Amino acid sequence: MDKILHVASMFKSQENDDGSVMIRGMASTNHSDRAGDVISKEAWEKGGLENFKNNPVILFNHDYDKPIGRATGVRVTENGLELEAKISKSAPAHVCELVKDGVLGAFSVGFKVKDADYIKETDGLLIKDAELFEVSVVSVPCNQAATFSLAKSFDSEEEYNEFKKTFTNRVDLTGQSLTKEDEISSNLVSMHLQAPRNRKNRRSKWILMNPESTWKHLLRK
């Protein structure tokens, strides 16, 4: 199924002296959403960001006729895909005001799944390779927990289930392929993953879209 999917997550905004607005947040995270789907950070490290970086326009509500700014930096972190962008001072006045007021407070990312595995424990997908097509600024829904659902991209539950069937390799939550015997004991893996784990401190570099635009005031926080 060749379909553009969307996931959304919150961002923070900061007004500049020239009237423009900077926004920054996670365009996608590697946390499981309410439907059990996960976008791994590695999904963005296989060339799927290149086309977007060539023309990193930020849209209003997925409308290609309404560009409102440009991405100024993107990087893959341990938590997923982090994005910063500048909303142009030439954008419609109501857009900037709504962003500053927090009414428009979420990124919505349009992408295609190029490779994924089926996760038995969550009945969802582990997305291993994705191509980013567009990023929009959208309103924050009343139910913010529902913002992080890949399944919302589909018109029905049946369509979502048919999409999952196109990825037949079954894995556990660690990404390891399951045999029939493994499936019987895979719940033990899930219990183990709930225990706290030490994480090594890792830094990733921003890929700057516009070197003249910096966020030093936010990076200090």
108 catalytic? Reply is: yes
The conformation of residue 177, written as its DSSP 8-state character, comes to: B
Catalytic, out of 62, 139, 153, 190? 62
Catalytic, out of 40, 82, 134, 149? 134
Structure token pair of residue 72: 């100024």
CA distance 16 to 14: 7
The conformation of residue 162, written as its DSSP 8-state character, comes to: H
Structure token pair of residue 125: 């997908």
CA distance 200 to 66: 41
134 catalytic? Reply is: yes
The alpha-helical segments, DSSP class H, found in 131-208 are 157-165, 180-193
Contacts of 192 (CB under 8 A, 6+ apart): none
Catalytic, out of 9, 13, 40, 108? 108
Candidates 156, 153, 79, 151; CA nearest to 122 is 151
The residues that are catalytic are 62, 108, 134
